[in-house]
């Protein structure tokens, strides 16, 4: 169900107040922001990763980064949109890192004439390659 513009404005005003209170040192004020926006951030992260554990980690990291950078948040901006973007960027970075690790750590398997999989020689440590040949 779409929000009315009055409702969206009320949420934005409430978010702005919570940001101000957090910046003034009231840590519990940030909890309001987390409770209000974590569900949408989780849905985004889950759609991107298709994995609940990764999505939960992305949500946690997005709100941690938002808290740490709250002083850089432009008060005229929408907090929900800002934290959503932080989560999207982190999810993209995380997926890129996983792809790099997968490519680097899992060389493609080769098959022998009988069809059995073998590990490429490059995957063995140097001393094992020298001993075997």
Residues in CB range of 14: below 8 A, 6 or more apart: 32, 36
pTM of structure? 0.71
Which CATH number covers residue 11?
A: 1.10.1740.10
- Please tell me the total count of domains within the chain: 1
d(CA 98, CA 94) in angstroms, rounded, equals 6
Q: For position 117, what pLDDT does the model report?
A: 55
Q: For position 126, what pLDDT does the model report?
A: 45
Q: For position 130, what pLDDT does the model report?
A: 47
The one-digit pLDDT tens for each residue of the chain (133 residues) are 456 777 888 888 899 999 999 999 998 999 999 999 999 999 999 999 999 999 999 999 999 999 999 999 987 789 999 999 999 999 999 999 988 888 877 655 555 666 665 555 444 444 444 444 4
Residue span of the structural domain in which 9 resides: 5-132
């Amino acid at each position: 169900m779409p929000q009315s513009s009055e409702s969206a404005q009320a949420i934005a005003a409430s978010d702005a107040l919570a940001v101000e209170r957090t910046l003034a040192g009231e840590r519990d004020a940030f909890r309001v922001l987390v409770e209000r926006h974590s569900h949408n951030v989780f849905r985004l992260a889950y759609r991107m990763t298709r994995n609940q554990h990764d999505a939960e980690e992305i949500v946690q990291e997005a709100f941690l980064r938002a808290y740490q950078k709250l002083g850089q948040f432009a008060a005229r901006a929408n907090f929900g949109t800002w934290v959503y973007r932080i989560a999207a960027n982190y999810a993209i970075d995380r997926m890129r890192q996983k792809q790099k690790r997968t490519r680097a750590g899992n060389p493609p398997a080769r098959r022998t004439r009988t069809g059995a999989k073998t590990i490429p020689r490059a995957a063995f440590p140097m001393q094992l390659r020298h001993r075997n040949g």
